Structure 1
Amino acid sequence: MKTLHDLHRPLGALGINVSPLGLGTVKLGRDQGVKYPNGFTIPDDVEAQMLLKLARDLGINLIDTAPAYGRSEERLGPLLRGQRKDWVIVSKVGEEFEAGQSRHDFSAAHTRLSVERSLQRLETDFIDLVLVHSDGNDLNVLNNCGVYQTLAALKREGKIRGFGFSGKTVEGGLLALQDGDCAMVTYNLNEQGEKPVLDYAAAHGKGVLVKKALASGHVCLSPGVDPVRASFELLFDHPGVTGAIVGTINPLHLAHNVATAAAVIRRQP
């Protein structure tokens, strides 16, 4: 069975090694207001536990969550009990999801409150990486709100090991990487506009995690072409890409994604 155990790579300069695929957990906590081609049912605890065990067995150590993912964080706390050393946890600040609606708050006070709440929910003393969940006004968020300075302070306090930015613009990604440790960018077969952020990260030793690597399941290619393989070939050909977050709750999809990524990274047919 192809796994990712021996393919972990550094997450920027943080001294943390992560698997080239991470497990996104929006589907563990939220089924409203999400853009997927097919509906889904949120897995129960037994199904979620099996999915997490499979991910670990396949060599995935990176897990991505957020307050905006509904109950994701508060479910992961109990689900990951006794396994903290096995996982690199990424969470976010800046976006809340309540009663089916998103709202944003990038103030210093809310940033600190959000991280403290995530620590409690995840039942951990520290979070490996906290990213700002941008509303799209990337430069305004970075320049005029207290969020980045507060995350830097939380890093000095040891409550988070690294921080960065999940934005929507090239300018935001580039500015975020100057002071931060990692950017999360959209990069897939349909959208490659944020490639300059990957180039900057590669040149400056920063981390990049790719969101929507499979275009949230919307990639269309000519017949006979495996969209997952084509997507991963694009991603892992770029030296700036640390890893990609894939949000599947289907064990077969997860195993296929891992086998495909392992083959692509090892340059195997």
Structure 2
Amino acid sequence: MELRPLGSTGIQVSPLGLGTVKFGRNQQVKYPKAFEIPDDARMVHILEVARELGINLLDTAPAYGTAQERLGKLMPGPRDSWVIVSKVGEIFENGRSRFDFSHAYTRTVVEQSLKALNTDYLDCVLIHSDGDDLRILEQEGALDALRELKEKGLIRAHGMSSKTVEGGLRVVRDMDLVMATANLEYADERPVLEAAHEQHKGVLIKKGLMSGHVQGREGVRTAMEHVFSLPGVSSMIVGTIDEGHLRQNAALAETLT
């Protein structure tokens, strides 16, 4: 796959990114079928296949159970061959999510992620919204904390996994990239994608396959074709621990981008 610019960050990403929630968490996830978390050997194999296929973008988060710690130990190849996108804000404990967008906690979480992932920098850190995007950006300390961490070189870019059009537009104005939802059944956030395209900001797409509810090669092809036709899209995040699905998704992405 030919790499694409992540807006004006200077970071180059594969059009297909690998979501890693299934590497560390199988509770309270929105996939259609239950699954077992892969053992170390299977996880390494999936990562090696991803790298073989030209995928360099890994999407992870502290809220993904043990995913970050496992990536820190098992991620193959040199660190700079991967683009790691992590998150702040969501805390998953005892089968439930809660949120903390304070300045102090944001800094703490980034420091913990650096340690867990065995790296001295993160390529991107996104605020994982609880749905009240504007309040988080205007009244909480996460945005200022991420700006400071970027100035110190601990992160290369910042953004938000937003949930509203108003919030997404503010992210495009004030941050480096936005993660937005787009799929065949949901187009509400298209104005965010258009604004990001106009302002040369990065765009990551989540739920493009509706959390695994899009099934079959033709269904996936149609869904991907739609996502990659949207303005400004840098990469589409798809989570899988199935080698066949990974190869199919990569082959489709390669023909559509």
CA distance in 1, matches of 2:217, 2:119: 42
CA distance in 1, matches of 2:202, 2:196: 6
CA distance in 2, matches of 1:261, 1:250: 16
Q: For structure 2, list consecutive stretches of 5 or more residues without a partner in the other structure.
A: none
Q: Any idea what SS the aligned residue of 1:96 has?
A: strand
CA distance in 1, matches of 2:173, 2:45: 39
Q: For structure 1, list consecutive stretches of 5 or more residues without a partner in the other structure.
A: none
Q: Tell me whether 1:69 sits opposite 2:61 in the alignment.
A: no
Written as runs of structure 1 = structure 2, the 5 A alignment for 1:120-269 is 120-219=115-214, 226-265=218-257
Displacement after TM superposition at 1:43 (Å) = 0.3
CA distance in 2, matches of 1:225, 1:109: 45
8 Å Cα contact 1:189/1:219 also seen in 2: no
8 Å Cα contact 1:127/1:160 also seen in 2: yes
> Deviations for 1:120-179, whole angstroms, at most 9, x for unmatched residues?
000000000000000001111111000001100100000000000001101111101111
Q: Any idea what SS the aligned residue of 1:258 has?
A: helix
Letter in 2 for 1:138: D
Q: Any idea what SS the aligned residue of 2:98 has?
A: strand
Paired position in structure 2 for 1:87: 82
CA distance in 1, matches of 2:148, 2:66: 27
Q: Normalised by the size of structure 2, how large is the TM-score?
A: 0.98
Displacement after TM superposition at 1:83 (Å) = 2.3
Q: Tell me whether 1:58 sits opposite 2:53 in the alignment.
A: yes
Letter in 2 for 1:72: A
CA distance in 2, matches of 1:81, 1:250: 18
Paired position in structure 1 for 2:33: 38
CA distance in 1, matches of 2:132, 2:55: 32
CA distance in 2, matches of 1:195, 1:87: 28
CA distance in 2, matches of 1:208, 1:14: 11
Q: Tell me whether 1:14 sits opposite 2:9 in the alignment.
A: yes
Displacement after TM superposition at 1:191 (Å) = 1.1
CA distance in 1, matches of 2:245, 2:77: 26
CA distance in 2, matches of 1:163, 1:32: 27
CA distance in 2, matches of 1:229, 1:82: 30
8 Å Cα contact 2:62/2:88 also seen in 1: yes
CA distance in 2, matches of 1:74, 1:173: 30
Q: Any idea what SS the aligned residue of 2:153 has?
A: coil
CA distance in 2, matches of 1:157, 1:172: 26
> Deviations for 1:33-75, whole angstroms, at most 9, x for unmatched residues?
0011111110000000000000000000000000111111111
8 Å Cα contact 1:190/1:219 also seen in 2: no
Percent of matched pairs sharing the same residue: 56
- Aligned-residue Cα RMSD (Å) equals 1.2
CA distance in 1, matches of 2:212, 2:117: 28
CA distance in 1, matches of 2:57, 2:143: 23
Letter in 1 for 2:251: A
Displacement after TM superposition at 1:244 (Å) = 0.4
Which deviates more, 122-131 or 231-240? 231-240
Displacement after TM superposition at 1:239 (Å) = 3.0
Letter in 2 for 1:247: G
CA distance in 2, matches of 1:81, 1:107: 33
